[in-house]
Structure 1
């Protein structure tokens, strides 16, 4: 049965071979080489001045078939690595001597501890000794060196006050929102021609006749254009209202259609109205095709008669059917729905502008990442802000305060481990979404006087991480003291951890705490994603609550 962990497959093999196998430090190594590797290290000087370099050399004597991996990168912190020289190899029979030299420096005065370095030989870690390096300041001759007066104060132009920047930012956002709202309103607003096209045929015809009355066609003696528009208005009205093809019909054809409708009882027009309409159409034909020039008064009178014809035609039409009334009602509802949608768009744009101002102000004050995390949340933030649980795990007990309770893990022990281990209690919590893992392990040995081997435990933990795909692991070590004063060892660092189900690697950090005494060992292991500030706070809070009982 497997359980997916933070950086790999947290199955039973992982727990037994990686972190939990660190509890087996009391077991003898069953497989030994014919001659164990030998590792020695040293520096050319333990005292330098600021900016000077020291040469740290490590010599490894191993079999010729052994694979040796030296430290890489900035693993000598607080000293800085200037250069790593090529490895010098000397062979003698079936053994070889490898020498690796590093140039290190420091730019601040003081005493610095050159940390132990891990040399990996055939997958097994060997650690060098730590050294104390003294960095002295460079002496300055303040007597003979020429001194200069302090430069006078310079006036600088005052910057924009913070409140003014906020005000200008909010005004800029409001102006932008107003511009967007104006653009959409103008875009969705109907033009005068579109609004007029939505009017009923009668109202549109009367409005066009009124516009024709105010035109300058008759003043400029443009009779052809005048009568063309006049007959076009009445023909378009008849085609829309009476539903006959009036625009493409000749004068005779149009009159014939009107008479047929009158005889059928569908259009109740009197004879005199038809005669007046016929005279107007014949006059328009003469003007358009025979270049006739009627009198000004007659032309104006023809327009007045056309208005009467339009009004009489409207009155002569039968009452609209139920279907037509339904169509008119549908048109009215569509018009009202369009106006309602327009109001909704305006309100939405106004609300969007307010939200945009609030978002910009929040980002300016709190920062992009905080606003993003507050809006969308993160798994690690939810854990940090949730209700934490304080509990003790294993025997001797390890007291922790964690976001979630740790669950017991059953770990089968190999036969050779049963000879040395009396009991092993393992508890863990994994959150793949937050890339966070927490484990607590308590181990007791059959021999009550067996001291804990911290170095072997660290070595086995690192080997287990590498077996699960971790690479470029950087290790640092320091003393750790709980709130109650119990001292232990803290091993921490970073590396690249393989994500489950893919070949991708995720940059992460880890911390391993080791406590113990004669007959027992206690371990706390934490791993999380590098750069996750909420995970950093979770780990810091857990470390501040760690307590152990050192009496079995």
Structure 2
């Protein structure tokens, strides 16, 4: 008979049940958590106590977590943990009886627990006074919370000025940084011949860009006439320039008149001149400058003058500048949106 009952005794000793609570005292409506742990052999099966909505009268169950299973001793032992979240709305000292767990038709019990539920302080001297619930408290102002917002707001100001500056440079087709150098001031005819030589080297009329060719050629002539004869040729029409030249210049200017007329037809009437006509007008411009130029004395020293060098922007530079403007604009808009959301969240 002792041999027959020995296995049951060994099995009974291998089961342990333990219960604990994380807080022995709570306020009304607060929550506490009970942890029920069972240690059994890996081949055994445990049945936990079944609760519906309360453990005992006055202690309600808020939630039951899923059991946590853990193997021990090379998977020979099994530790099962079950957690219960409880609360109470009646102030009292509660006695929680032991939890019963069934293992192989045997019931094992844990130790009992206690929970004290206390009520908030009540002004017993004025029991008829009722107070509404307090409003939401505003957090204290701290500069550290607004450091990033202030930095972005200050950063947005120079970015806006930079965007405006880049847009103006892009619209005027001018470089972002203006290069200034000191060089001797050349006579009007030398400056004009230097510009015409550049136009001649580029040969843009051979690429079908007649309007651009005649615009550059007449601008070079207008600048020369203005510096050489002293009237505002850059602001005058072609016919006005010819009439003014007839008053101050005795030489024949019919070829120059024909050049300006052709240029007006190309620019305003979409006239497409012949190739030899373009070459002829270039030669006429050179001839007019050579016939009307005034030579400077050989012993006269050139006067240094500040000259602003405006380099023409390439197509690639235009694209990069446009992309930069778009990216900067999007960044400024994002900064404004972030600051606005921050202000709305703080004051509403």
TM range (shorter): 0.3 to 0.5
TM-score, normalising length: structure 1: 0.22
| Greater per-residue helix proportion | 2
